[in-house]
Structure 1
Amino acid sequence: MAVRLDRFRTGWQRGALGAVLGIALAALLGHLVPSSEGLPWIMAPVGASAVLVFAVPASPLAQPWPVVGGNLISVAVGMAVGKLCAMGGVGAPVAVSLAVGFAIAAMALARCTHPPGGAAAILGAMYGIAPAAHLPGPFAPLALNVIGIAGIGWIYNAATGHPWPHLTAVPPSPAPMRTVTYDREDLDAVLADWDERLDVAPDDLDALFRAVERRVLRRWEDDLK
């Protein structure tokens, strides 16, 4: 019997099933890397990436470039920092802390901030300080894992009504009005119509919109003076 993916458009079921499929492909691809270095065929940061990609695919932190760039840039930064610390005789605690800090900076500059990148940086740093560390290290299996997550994320999210990358259609601006207000029920109805899980609480959205309303009203009052 065919599985109707539209039954899993929202909720934890949709995210859980997507994560199962994504991690399965990530693990399968990870086995393509020779295990002579003793590295695992799947890297822990990918599990955190799967949560974002399949549970909150509309999040800016869960888009394709953050998932790919955030993980791979961070692990490369971590490996470089770990190797430099090992050459300078610096201990692992300092190496991992520097790796995460530099990874955050690198992700910000590359516009690919992705929380699992912090774990990828630690992974790279721990490998980099090892005496026998050499390229490509954990970069190769992590790259294949990320390809698996991104590939399934693109197919599965689209099939379940959540196109990925997430693109929000911006409606045209209405004609200027001297009234701008809404009820909380309006916000809840729009969120229901969007059918997306956002990583911003509705109360925080409401507070933001109310602050915008107050600013607009103050500007109008200043214009009338």
Structure 2
Amino acid sequence: MSDTPHQHPASLIPQAVLGPLGWLRGSFGAGFAILAAGLATSALMPGLPPGLPFLIAPLGASAVLVFAVPASPVAQPWSVVGGNLLSATIGLMLGALIGHPLMAAGLAVGAAIAAMTFARCLHPPGGACALLCALGAAGPEQWSLVHLVPIAANVLALALFGWAYNNLTGHRWPHVVAPVPPAPARAAATHTREDIAATLATWEELLDVDVDDLDAFYRAVNERVAARRDG
């Protein structure tokens, strides 16, 4: 096992860039998902009060996760739907209750993180949803809970399209970890950073983790196994 300091930027390590989960697949999926969400929400607008948004900006960040890193825990359906809607509700309620945009925004984002964590639906764009809704409710626009209707339509349309597109293009979503058969008994093996990079280059999944973090994790696991073996 080499002790050479790591000087390889993770951005130089291709992770199945041209594979079935590559940039082209993610780009098409995200683009069409935003279009589908906008069309679905616009179809609801005639029966709603004027001035409601037919697309919200945090949806773009959710699309990046759903279509570019669909194996990430924060990109799973419950995280996308629950995280965004829970955070939006918190933002709207605190914005209306507090009335001060800055104070409401800060409290909404903090409360949204806590709520998503306890509800097991942590989703980074949820913080943006909480911020957007808190500012809208505390500002001159006076957003109310009726704004949850277009937000819900956005999020549900994105999740539905993500489910169909990901599965049709060869990726099971919600993500399912492929079972790995147990390795045959053999002498303890070691790895190098290059081994991890080479494996990632052929792995048909974009992992939301840095190569050096993986290397450090494997080294820690190897040390724990060695300590247990040595008593």
Q: Please give the TM-score of this superposition, normalised by the length of structure 2.
A: 0.83
Residue 135 (structure 1) shift: 4.4
Which whole-Å CA distance do the structure 2 matches of 1:51 and 1:196 have between them? 15
Match of 1:51 in 2: 64
Are positions 1:40 and 2:53 aligned together?
A: yes
Residue 129 (structure 1) shift: 1.8
Q: Quick one: structure 1 residues 8 and 29, their matched pair in 2 at CA, closer, same or farther if it must change by over 3 Å?
A: farther
The structure 1 residue matched to 2:126, chosen from 114, 117, 127, is: 117
Q: Quick one: structure 1 residues 132 and 22, their matched pair in 2 at CA, closer, same or farther if it must change by over 3 Å?
A: closer
SS of residue paired to 1:163:
coil
Match of 1:162 in 2: 171
Match of 1:198 in 2: 207
**CA deviation map 1:80-130 (0-9, x unaligned):** 1112202xxxx2111100000000000001000000001100122123224
Residue identity (%): 50
**CA deviation map 1:128-156 (0-9, x unaligned):** 22477464332110110111111111111
The structure 2 residue matched to 1:20, chosen from 31, 35, 41, is: 31
Which whole-Å CA distance do the structure 2 matches of 1:30 and 1:115 have between them? 22
Match of 2:85 in 1: 72
Aligned residue runs from structure 1 range 109-188, under 5 A: 109-130=118-139, 133=142, 135-171=144-180, 173-174=182-183, 179-188=188-197
Match of 1:96 in 2: 105
- 1:30–1:42 CA contact under 8 A, matched in 2: yes
The structure 2 residue matched to 1:208, chosen from 203, 217, 220, is: 217
What one-letter code is carried by the residue in structure 2 that aligns with 1:78?
G
Are positions 1:219 and 2:228 aligned together?
A: yes
Unaligned segments of structure 2, at least 5 residues:
1-17
Which whole-Å CA distance do the structure 1 matches of 2:204 and 2:114 have between them? 33
Which whole-Å CA distance do the structure 1 matches of 2:186 and 2:19 have between them? 40
**CA deviation map 1:41-87 (0-9, x unaligned):** 1111111100100111111111100000000000001111112202x
Unaligned segments of structure 1, at least 5 residues:
1-6
- Out of 135-144 and 61-70, give the one that drifted further: 135-144
Which whole-Å CA distance do the structure 1 matches of 2:199 and 2:161 have between them? 28
SS of residue paired to 1:138:
helix
Which whole-Å CA distance do the structure 2 matches of 1:141 and 1:56 have between them? 25
Q: Please give the TM-score of this superposition, normalised by the length of structure 1.
A: 0.85
Number of positions where the alignment pairs a residue of Structure 1 with one of Structure 2: 212
Which whole-Å CA distance do the structure 2 matches of 1:178 and 1:145 have between them? 53
